[in-house]
Structure 1
């Protein structure tokens, strides 16, 4: 019973919120590159890789262009990460028997956490993706052919030259998350904010099922003895490794989710009618390799993000602020 009193849900919510804000601030530029790389279609390669994307973004939009969409992410990541991490802790605690969990129950706790978080994750990523991808659309417009000169002879015509728009790239439309939200509510209603919900569930539930049990076991390996605490660096490394594995494992689902949630398409880009249609069209036109677009970027985003999150949990910022004794469910 004493252990149960040490588990404070409000403290865990604070821990998750703080972890989310710190983590997003550190890795958001890589997340922006991931979104733009995932939305690229075959034959329309604006960016070669993550570094090329970031360099071109800085050149066209300045340093803060890498943080396009960060405001909405920072605003909503607090409840999103708080729900995800606190829900997992809560379900692990409820499912544990004498402080022990079977692997199945660990996976079940992760599954429940993933289901809870999508209430915030879906609208957050819906808005974030529109803002992150605006620069890619603008860059694509710059390299589209603008004038085609043809020579007509009899009933046939031949292309003599094709000129390209060499003017400075059009300015990215500075739409705010509030404007996008209003437009979605006006045109599609409240459910418009939850476009791609199925794909988000398809990504986040398996992620949590993989991540949380893997982290728990990696974290336990760093415990010097039953009486001693796991070192800070081990918590960070465990979070990074577990996050990296889970992120790469569900990367195909993340590609599908990103495509479905991108409202504004570039020239000649496909539209999709649901998950199955999206998967079928990507396979047909871009091949299986397209499902791993941005996988390395996603791993680079998720690994430090969850490494930081677990260190925040280890420190127990929420417990300190509320006057409780810091306690992690993983230490039992």
Structure 2
């Protein structure tokens, strides 16, 4: 149920933002067209339908990704509470739990992200998702579908750490809710702020991930973008610090409000489970 609701949530967010974000991150050089310029260029040169290229992988990914994210967050939360001998999460444990959930989630995400990036690249000639999988496996083997695993790992570690850690901290600062409406408001605000914070932290790693996964591998040639932290240094040196935040605007427009609505969905679903199964462990 949780996965289904989260899936509906993400389908309802503007998918065009994913395509625009990818294009902005794959664009090299110090100059940038920005959100509006990139969107206008795609429509002018390739047609509005191009904005929906690569739609299938994210849609297929949403349900398993959200299920793994929150199941892992629950598992790691309980594990760290036992290790620390605590009965309630602290800020540091919330961040550690979120980072661990993100690391777990990243293993599910990589192949879907790879296919999406390959399809959304401006120079892409793939016929569709299946064609991407076939060609990548034929040229690089099954492990080729996990190109960018390391950068995806860091992307999700930082986003989830920022998201769950911020939610915990913001909820503690907000007035204690006296009504159901106030509880919903607190959840949305803390989730939205958490989504914003997670996006600020992880965008540089998302840029690197897109560059790595968008690179066509040539046998015997070491790719320019290969490992996360050296790639971050390369982009910073050649394109400036601002390049590490390419695609930030379309990304945050999805993930900040999306983080708020996602937390509403999760809290509602957990409330149903609490009533049916009794109080949770934490």
Pairwise TM-score range, normalised by the shorter structure: 0.7 to 0.9
Q: Give the Å deviation of 1:289.
A: 2.1
Q: Is the CA contact (8 Å cut-off) linking 1:20 and 1:309 kept in structure 2?
A: no
For 2:208, the equivalent position in structure 1 comes to 256
Q: Is the CA contact (8 Å cut-off) linking 1:27 and 1:304 kept in structure 2?
A: no
Q: Look up the SS of the partner of 1:131 in the other structure.
A: helix
For 2:99, the equivalent position in structure 1 comes to 111
1:222–1:57 CA distance, 2 compared to 1 (3 A)? farther
Say yes or no: does 1:243 pair with 2:195: yes
1:285-318 deviations in Å (ceiling 9; x for gaps):
2122211211222211211222221111122189
Q: Give the Å deviation of 1:33.
A: 1.0
Say yes or no: does 1:275 pair with 2:228: yes
Q: Give the Å deviation of 1:326.
A: 9.3
Q: Partners of 2:180 and 2:272 in 1: how far apart?
A: 19
Paired positions, count: 273
1:108–1:281 CA distance, 2 compared to 1 (3 A)? closer
The match for 2:26 among 39, 46, 49 is 39
For 2:39, the equivalent position in structure 1 comes to 54
Say yes or no: does 1:20 pair with 2:1: no
- Structure number with higher strand proportion: 1
1:108-187 mapped onto 2 (5 Å cutoff): 108-133=96-121, 136-137=122-123, 173=125, 175-187=127-139
For 1:85, the equivalent position in structure 2 comes to 70
Say yes or no: does 1:312 pair with 2:265: yes
Shifted more, 185-194 versus 302-311: the winner is 302-311
1:182–1:290 CA distance, 2 compared to 1 (3 A)? same
Q: Partners of 2:176 and 2:195 in 1: how far apart?
A: 20
Q: Partners of 2:149 and 2:70 in 1: how far apart?
A: 20
For 2:184, the equivalent position in structure 1 comes to 232
For 1:292, the equivalent position in structure 2 comes to 245
Q: Partners of 1:279 and 1:91 in 2: how far apart?
A: 29
Q: Partners of 2:277 and 2:182 in 1: how far apart?
A: 16
- Structure number with higher helix proportion: 2
Q: Look up the SS of the partner of 1:316 in the other structure.
A: helix
Q: Partners of 1:189 and 1:60 in 2: how far apart?
A: 34
Q: Look up the SS of the partner of 1:250 in the other structure.
A: helix
Q: Is the CA contact (8 Å cut-off) linking 1:58 and 1:65 kept in structure 2?
A: yes
Q: Partners of 1:174 and 1:198 in 2: how far apart?
A: 25
Q: Partners of 2:44 and 2:65 in 1: how far apart?
A: 32
1:222–1:183 CA distance, 2 compared to 1 (3 A)? farther
Q: Partners of 2:168 and 2:38 in 1: how far apart?
A: 35
1:86–1:292 CA distance, 2 compared to 1 (3 A)? same
Pairwise CA RMSD of aligned residues?
3.0
- What are the ranges of 5 or more consecutive residues in structure 1 without an aligned counterpart? 1-13, 138-171
For 2:220, the equivalent position in structure 1 comes to none
Q: Look up the SS of the partner of 1:92 in the other structure.
A: helix
* Rg larger for: 1
1:212-266 deviations in Å (ceiling 9; x for gaps):
02112323425324x968532332222111111111122111111111110359x
